[in-house]
Amino acid sequence: MNATSGTRETALFPLHTVLFPGGLLPLRVFEPRYMEMTTACLRESIPFGVCLIREGREVGAPAEPYAVGCLARIMQWDMQQLGVLNITVRGEKRFRVLDRRVQRDGLIRSEIELLADEDDALVPEALAVCARVLKAIIDDGAAAGIEAPLRYESASWVSARLSEILPLPLAFKQQLLETDDSRQRLEALREALREQKLAPEK
């Protein structure tokens, strides 16, 4: 897993979901530690980190997150109910947690290193079924929140969006996030589609 140069510190938001670069994720924020975090991110125009929870819960005591996550930038927000902030974030770069500490309020802050961007290869013909399944799901209106342009030729885009949409185990989605090669991710998704009888055996 290649990393770009340099490290930075960021606040972490452990969740029972996996965010991929380019993906949109709606969140409902109400705990004081995350209200303060999102307010600071909005004020300073900085992202926070989303990591899948390895052990623990989204609320209450700090959860144990996986080491690889995705930076999340707030794109929209509103507070229709006092004390509850609704936000939509977009996934940016993947990162690896190097070190972390828990603040007195329970917020996890971490030193991270950004992982290198994937090569944006074309979807190989042998894996084109992944793009066809994704297009069918989107055309059926069963995948809300996917931004244009729809890049069905891009192995990176198709593999990320399909990873988000398919009802896969979270641990498997985490493996897909940690996969550096988008074509390898497509191969894993093709096998998952075959297991779910959504793709032909040959």
Residue-wise pLDDT tens digits, 64-75: 899 999 999 999
pLDDT of residue 144: 75
pLDDT of residue 57: 73
Are 183 and 122 spatial neighbours (Cβ–Cβ below 8 Å)?
no
Q: Return d(Cα 63, Cα 60) in angstroms, integer.
A: 8
Residues of the chain with pLDDT under 70: 1-6, 59, 197-202
By percentage, how much of the chain surpasses pLDDT 70?
Answer: 93
pLDDT of residue 197: 64
φ and ψ of 14, to 5 deg: -70, 135
pLDDT of residue 2: 63
Q: Look up the pTM and report it.
A: 0.90
Computed from CA positions of residues 153, 18, 168, 2, in that sequence, does the dihedral angle turn out positive or negative? positive
In CATH, 125-195 is 3.30.70: no
The domain 3-115: what is its CATH number? 2.30.130.40
Q: Return d(Cα 128, Cα 13) in angstroms, integer.
A: 34
The domain locations on the chain are: 3-115, 125-195
Q: Which residues contact 191 (CB under 8 A, 6 or more apart)?
A: none
Amino acid in position 76: Q
Residue 103 CB coordination number (10 Å): 13
pLDDT of residue 30: 93
